[in-house]
Amino acid sequence: AQSVTQLGSHVSVSEGALVLLRCNYSSSVPPYLFWYVQYPNQGLQLLLKYTTGATLVKGINGFEAEFKKSETSFHLTKPSAHMSDAAEYFCAVIRPNSGGSNYKLTFGKGTLLTVNP
Amino acid sequence: GAVVSQHPSRVICKSGTSVKIECRSLDFQATTMFWYRQFPKQSLMLMATSNEGSKATYEQGVEKDKFLINHASLTLSTLTVTSAHPEDSSFYICSARTLRRFSYEQYFGPGTRLTVT
């Protein structure tokens, strides 16, 4: 079974400061990892993903994340926070279901990012 | 590309009535669609997975007779909440996956806010 742990349900930063949202996973097989963002009363938007290849992945809106197998982590960062970054962020991992081919996302509990002026 | 729509965005219904939520993939064919439920300030809970032309696979603890899912075409899935009660009030989000083999990318709809009075 695979699981995702997001450390910190709420992170608050000042505008212009570094954003760091933590995600650790447990998996018996190499996972695919995702970060999604959700604005209030909206669905989820994919920020970035890691499947294979380069471990540092760049996403939209200036976000990036690094897959560290030794630390089983996939932390999300952005060098300089903007007010528009305030949202809920979810880390997710793919796990196969019993059918084998229908990969299903397992989500972390989410981290609410607030950006202070 | 890869746009998923949901209708309605908000619905208020009386206890005991049924409500249907539509999920459409607008510019791609979705062999698999997922239905999630999200409570305030919580993560997404997968309710069921549906493949076009097949019966949905429900997650443990989700009542099949209460949450009827139909995936009649490659672009449309519906979720019907039957005999709704106030505890069914929630944010329902659908997600669709493309036809590509071993595809793992899911695209999310904007969600439907259901309020049962």
- Closest residue of chain A to B45, computed from CA coordinates: A107
* Chain A residues 21-40 within an 8 A CB cutoff of chain B: 32, 36
pLDDT at B102 over 60: no
Minimal CA separation from A99 to chain B, in Å = 10
> Binning pLDDT at 50, 70 and 90, where does residue A52 land?
confident
pLDDT at B103: 59
Angle at B23 between CA B19 and CA B26, to 5 degrees: 150
* Predicted local distance difference test score (pLDDT) of residue B40: 82
Residues of B in contact with A44 (CB under 8 A): 44, 93, 95, 108
Yes or no: say if A73 and A50 are a contact pair by the CB < 8 Å rule. no
pLDDT score at A101: 47
B/e letters for A40-73, b = 16+ CB within 10 Å, e = fewer, are: eebbbbbbbbbeeeeeebebeeebbbebeeeeeb
Residue-wise pLDDT for A18-47, tens only, equals 999 999 998 777 788 999 999 988 889 999
Q: What tokens appear for A52 in the block?
A: 């294979």
Mean pLDDT, rounded, for B98-108: 71
Q: How far is A107 from A105, CA to CA, in rounded Å?
A: 6
Select from B33, B94, B108 the residue whose CB has the most chain A CBs within 10 Å, as the one to mutate to test that interface: B108
- Determine contact: B58 vs chain A, CB below 8 A: no
Tell me what pLDDT residue A94 has: 84
Task: Give B11-65 pLDDT, tens digit per residue.
Answer: 999 999 999 999 999 988 888 899 999 988 788 899 999 888 888 999 999 999 9
Average pLDDT over chain B reads 90
First to last CA, chain B: 37
Euclidean distance between CA atoms A104 and A97, whole angstroms = 7
Lowest model confidence (mean pLDDT) among A24-38, A64-78, B81-95: A24-38
Test A90 with B34 for CB contact under 8 angstroms: no
Strand boundaries in B4-89, DSSP class E: 4-7, 10-13, 19-25, 30-38, 44-51, 57-58, 67-73, 76-81
Residue A71 pLDDT greater than 50, yes or no? yes
